[in-house]
A and B are shown apart, each in its own frame.
Chain A
Amino acid sequence: AQKITQTQPGMFVQEKEAVTLDCTYDTSDPSYGLFWYKQPSSGEMIFLIYQGSYDQQNATEGRYSLNFQKARKSANLVISASQLGDSAMYFCAMSPFRDFGNEKLTFGTGTRLTIIP
């Protein structure tokens, strides 16, 4: 069984500051993928970033980076230079990395991020 823990129900951050959203995970699978999704108030799920457990380097996508610490089982999302449009719910998720890919996501409960002008 897999478990994702997001301990920050809500965060308020000043515009243009960097923000770190915490995510820890637990799994018995030897290989897995870690994901972050953004859910704005409109409700859609927007993929942000992916990290494979075998990746040696931390994933980056524009202003998003994933601080992956395998020994600590953490996969924190870092958003640099936050913008008002970053206000949303953020979900951390993981999936076992079987032969064929990532079809079974386990999600955390999310962190609601509010950017203050």
Chain B
Amino acid sequence: QVQLQESGPGLVKPSETLSLTCTVSDGSISSYYWSWIRQPPGEGLEWIGYISYSGSTNYNPSLKSRVTISVDTSKKQFSLKLSSVTAADTAVYYCARDGSYGDHVIWGQGTLVTVSS
């Protein structure tokens, strides 16, 4: 059973860069697309973007200027970097494996990132 686990700092200062990694266990990272989704406390879900195993990306235009998603197939990890963060970027960040139609089939448990000085 494939499992995903997010890791990274839980507290980031304003104007700095948020960095998270998602590790894929008990499964292959190849032949799939991998997404990041976030959810501010008490709010709905927001799709951040995806990366394919080969490295092609697609980002939400609302975040595109600040987002980079990368993949390291040798480590079975993919990563999210979000620059110039503000309090509005405080959220639970989820990584997910995508299905054939873009749906998010398998999710990590999520990690809360708080932006505060």
Does A pair with B?
no
**Residues of B that sit less than 8 Å from A by CB:** none
